Amino acid sequence: MSTRATPGPRERLLDAARELTYSHGMGVGVDTLLKAANVARRSLYDHFGGKDGLIAEVLRRTTAEDEAFYMEIMQAAGEDPRDRLLAVFDNLAQVIAEPDFCGCRYQAADLALTDPDHPAHAITHDYRVRLHRLFEHELVKLGHPQPAHAAAQYLLLIAGTLATGATQADEHPAALARELAEQILDLRHHATPATPDGGAQRRSRR
């Protein structure tokens, strides 16, 4: 009969910080983290150099997991890029409905960590860049006339959905955002026709 190894101090610190910085905010105290992880203060500094390093490592892990989450959502939705992109909001509705949902971890980190040089900011920025690239790729496949711009709009809708979901879940923000996302995606049907030289024809204004 195999036995499961007990996580070491490093993993216990990461688990505690992952949970507490989400449920209690980035301002959660070091003593609270140490108590939850059942480790000595020295372990924090030996493994992460302090609380800032611990937070950064938590964010590296969660951003990788959340990026994979979006990829899995779209893969499960089939081959049609429109279905894949709209599936994002169908799944966000489920995320918001979870009893322990507290909003977007990354928005909270950027707002709470006021030092612009905190390592967390580079991690959250890189995460959004990767998501933008992911959505832009789908929008290109969809034939959207402005895939980069539409991907930025998509990120804004996701951010708004998560923020509103934390405070006004009864407003069904994911469903509302999905309706707006449909308008973004369907712009490909109303694209300004291109001229032979690759430019866009100007429509007359009445």
Q: Residue 7 — pLDDT band, cuts 50, 70, 90?
A: confident
**In the prediction, which pLDDT does 21 show?**
97
Would you say residue 195 has pLDDT above 80? Answer: no
In whole angstroms, give the CA distance from residue 180 to residue 162.
15
Mean pLDDT value of segment 35-48: 97
167-191: pLDDT as tens digits: 998 899 999 999 999 999 998 655 5
CA-wise closest residue to 134 among 52, 73, 187, 67: 67
In whole angstroms, give the CA distance from residue 161 to residue 153.
12
**In the prediction, which pLDDT does 198 show?**
42
Pairs from 45-48 (Cβ < 8 Å, separation ≥ 24): 47/9, 47/10, 47/13, 48/13
Mean pLDDT value of segment 192-202: 42
What residue spans of the chain are helical by DSSP H? 9-23, 30-37, 41-48, 51-76, 81-97, 105-112, 119-142, 147-167, 173-185
76's tokens: 């499960």
Single-letter code of the amino acid located at 75: Q
Single-letter code of the amino acid located at 6: T
146-160: pLDDT as tens digits: 999 999 999 999 999
3 state SS of 38: coil
130-141: pLDDT as tens digits: 999 999 999 999
Single-letter code of the amino acid located at 122: A
